[in-house]
Structure 1
Amino acid sequence: MKLIDCHTHTQFSVDSEADINKCIMRAAELGLAAYAITDHCECNAWYDEAHYTSAPPDVDHFNYKDDFYGSVEAVTKLKEQYGGKLNLICGVELGQILHDTEVARIVNADKRVDFIVGSVHQVLGEKDFYYIDYEKLTMDEIYDLLERYFREVNEMSRTDLFDVIGHITYCLRYMKQRHGICPDISRFDDIIADTFRNLAQNGRGIEINTSGLRQGFGDTFPDLKYVKMFRDLGGEILSIGSDSHTVEDIGKDVEKGAETAYAAGFKRLAFFKGRKPQFTDIV
């Protein structure tokens, strides 16, 4: 099985201290068929804090512009250094695309970027899902929040500003891990199915994010049901990422992610070079 890890973070992400050189050495040791560095870039906090004086976003870090350019410059140089030794991909996890599409277009226009994971970490007007105290919310409020999340993801799926949607059930992570709250998202299946049809029709994909397997969630983001739904609705582009923020977590559970992909009917996995999908067989 040729494994890939196309969602990872390094020292250029605000929530990671992973040395980028050690990350690359670890990926080479694992013999990954493709390894993408996708450091965080949140569109709603691209500029410094002073830029947002009229309506500052609810974030704890600003100036992602510097993070983005720092990561891309470093990975571009390392691609030259490791040429022929590792299939190193220069990527970015682009958050909150709809909150500032002008910023998203700046990132998309950078020709050094091979791959863009489009993610929604916070819906418009709310904190990142990481910071929400779900015990203070009623179930009706939680379902309202989830509906707004899936509708924002759906709207993003209609744009051309990303390659795959990252951890499409990310919204469930912290409410389950910290509070044992397990809402039934099947009520949003029509919205999710429409998102998947948009992606399939426009040559874009989703990822299987394996972080939930090691972080107490107990499953991938999304799980087998939704990976299969994507396949049944014509989806062909499926990536896998560990969402590692440490050297040790690179490649974690990507084999299990590949097994989920195969069980859903996929025979190959996608990675991107020059914003174009490339494929590797699962078996």
Structure 2
Amino acid sequence: MRLMDCHTHTQFSMDSEADIDLCVKRAAELGLAAYAISDHCECNGWYEKEHYPEETWELLDYYNYRADFESSVSAVTALKEKWAGKLNLICGVELGQILHDTDAAKTANADSRVDFIIGSVHQVMGEKDFYFIEYDKMTMDEIYGLLERYFKEVYALSKTELFDVVGHITYCLRYMKQRHGINADISRYDDIIAETFRNLAQNGKGIEINTSGLRQGFGDCFPNLKYAKLFRDMGGEIISFGSDSHIVEDIGANIADGMRIARAAGFTRGAYFKKRKPYFIDIE
């Protein structure tokens, strides 16, 4: 099976210390058919902290993502030249909260060095990242209210042109289950998820199967087979795969499992991007 890993992080992400040179070397050793470095860039923290109203400072613990964006894109661009002919290296970015600052997102989209953009929602308007939310202090009604806001925001994102694939749909479930054993039933949002997928398919956009949940205690991919199949049923054709690695050793982790899920959902090929154009590899 020819593997690709299109969602990975390096030293230029605020939550990773993975040496970028070692990451590229590891991807080459694995013989990946496509390898994208997609460091974090949260649009709602594009500027330095002082740019934002003080009352919003508690929503983010890190700012000035535009500096990280430039550092990552510059480094990957140089490495693409160095590894030309030896590794299919892709200059990507994970744009978080696109709808919170579309001007920042448009700036990233306009950068001709960028091959690939993952559109992710790590936090909804007025809330902290799902990572930081204290779910054990919430009622189930409050949790379901938060999830509804998440899926509405992803739906709104699906109507824009500011990304190539939506990252880790169902990310909103990760920490409530891993840390607190809360198993929220998101089937109540299936209609809006289906409409989101229909928008993506009609706009030539895709989703990723993010395999991080298989190694981090969640027990499944983001999304799982049910929602990968729903995307296919709604006309989806573009599906990518990402380990969401933050350390060198996790590059390529469980990608074969993610590809098996895609195959079971009816996909026969996976996509990677160059110059914002999809290229396809058969899923065996």
TM-score, normalised to structure 1's length? 0.99
User: 1:54 deviation in Å?
Assistant: 5.4
Does the alignment pair 1:247 with 2:248? yes
Aligned position for 2:98: 97
Aligned position for 2:60: 59
User: 1:56 deviation in Å?
Assistant: 2.8
**Residue deviations 1:34-59 (CA, integer Å, cap 9, x gap):** 00000000000000011013553510
**Residue deviations 1:121-164 (CA, integer Å, cap 9, x gap):** 00000000000000000000000000000000000000000000
Does the alignment pair 1:281 with 2:278? no
Runs of 4+ in 1 over 3 A off after TM superposition: none
**Residue deviations 1:91-145 (CA, integer Å, cap 9, x gap):** 0000000000000000000000000000000000000000000000000000000
Query: Which secondary structure does the structure 2 equivalent of 1:56 belong to?
Result: helix
Aligned position for 1:39: 39
Residues of 1 paired with 2:11 and 2:119: CA distance? Answer: 20
Q: Is the 8 A contact 1:10 1:18 kept in 2?
A: yes
State, as a whole percentage, how many aligned pairs show the same letter.
Answer: 72
Unaligned ranges ≥5, structure 1: none
Aligned position for 1:216: 217
Unaligned ranges ≥5, structure 2: none
Aligned position for 2:235: 234
Query: Aligned letter for 2:19?
Result: D
Residues of 2 paired with 1:240 and 1:200: CA distance? Answer: 17
5 Å-filtered alignment, 1:115-264, equals: 115-264=116-265
Query: Aligned letter for 2:41?
Result: C
Query: Which secondary structure does the structure 2 equivalent of 1:221 belong to?
Result: coil
Residues of 2 paired with 1:54 and 1:180: CA distance? Answer: 34
Aligned position for 1:19: 19
Query: Which secondary structure does the structure 1 equivalent of 2:237 belong to?
Result: coil
Residues of 1 paired with 2:56 and 2:43: CA distance? Answer: 13
Residues of 2 paired with 1:29 and 1:54: CA distance? Answer: 47
**Residue deviations 1:226-283 (CA, integer Å, cap 9, x gap):** 0000001100000000000000000000000000000001000000000000000011
Residues of 2 paired with 1:141 and 1:53: CA distance? Answer: 26
Aligned length: 283
User: 1:4 deviation in Å?
Assistant: 0.4
Give the root-mean-square deviation of aligned CA atoms.
0.6
TM-score, normalised to structure 2's length? 0.99
